[in-house]
Amino acid sequence: SAFIEFENVKKIYQMGEVQIEALAGVNFKIDKGEFVVIAGASGAGKSTILNILGGMDSCTSGNIYVDGSRISEYNAKELTTYRRYDIGFVFQFYNLVQNLTVVENVELATQICKNPLNIDETIAAVGLQDRRGNFPAQLSGGEQQRVAIARALAKNPKLLLCDEPTGALDYKTGKAILKLLQDTCREHHMTVIVITHNLALTPMGDKVIHVRNGVIEKVDINDHPIPVE
């Protein structure tokens, strides 16, 4: 069976008297080791899907299965454990600790992990071996995102979730970041899910889930996912 499955997942945000239906019955499956792109316009529901999948938010109804567990049934304590051990997050604006160096940022993330990867090897894998002692402000945007990826990877998560990781970067740098995420997926057989609103980057996904107005509009399968030029 699938590594991840969403079954008629709905999410309603209650804002005072107003209800916003962010997800109106979402269904999809993802296999272990897939490199998945979630695409769609602003407000479509992409972040809501990722936040619920990452245990940062809960759905209003429906079922979500990850690696054989029904995470949509998890209580707060189970969700905390799940976020801590199973999920790596990468965000648009890096969220690095500014007064810690590259190596310290990565180290901090591994302190509460069960099976962290080797910190120096992980930093080398994202190409920052010569930047270990630098602070975030001394790095370019692309380099800061590499630190954020190293920090997420060092936890050795089951699932790497990336919300617009290229959103603050120029096209070329963003493409290199996506390539790094794709390589990581292949090398560690890790399931990686990336949100983007840049349709030019979707040919890199094994699977592209198009979200529109809170539902899945279509799912494209790329038999030969390619880095775009």
Please report, as ranges, the residues that interact with ligand ADP according to CB under 6 A.
13, 15, 20, 22, 40, 42-48, 138-143, 173
Nearer to ligand ADP, 145 or 156 (CB): 145
Q: Which residues contact 132 (CB under 8 A, 6 or more apart)?
A: 101, 102, 103, 120, 123
| CA-closest candidate to residue 11, choices 161, 212, 215, 217 | 215
What's the closest the beta carbon of residue 146 comes to ligand ADP, in angstroms?
Answer: 8
173, 185 contact by CB (below 8 A): no
What's the closest the beta carbon of residue 167 comes to ligand ADP, in angstroms?
Answer: 11
What's the closest the beta carbon of residue 89 comes to ligand ADP, in angstroms?
Answer: 14
Nearer to ligand ADP, 112 or 200 (CB): 200
Burial of residue 213 (number of CB atoms within 10 Å: 0-12, 13-18, 19+): middle
Return the number of other C-beta atoms located less than 10 Å from residue 100's C-beta. Answer: 15
Percent of the chain that is helix, strand, coil (3-state, to 5): 35, 30, 35
What's the closest the beta carbon of residue 152 comes to ligand ADP, in angstroms?
Answer: 18
Nearer to ligand ADP, 106 or 177 (CB): 177
100, 61 contact by CB (below 8 A): no
What's the closest the beta carbon of residue 27 comes to ligand ADP, in angstroms?
Answer: 17
3-state secondary structure of 77: helix
Nearer to ligand ADP, 155 or 207 (CB): 207
Q: How far apart are CA 73 and CA 92, in angstroms?
A: 29
Provide the token pair at 8: 């008629």
Nearer to ligand ADP, 96 or 139 (CB): 139
What's the closest the beta carbon of residue 83 comes to ligand ADP, in angstroms?
Answer: 17
Give me the residue whose beta carbon is nearest to ligand ADP.
142
Nearer to ligand ADP, 128 or 159 (CB): 128
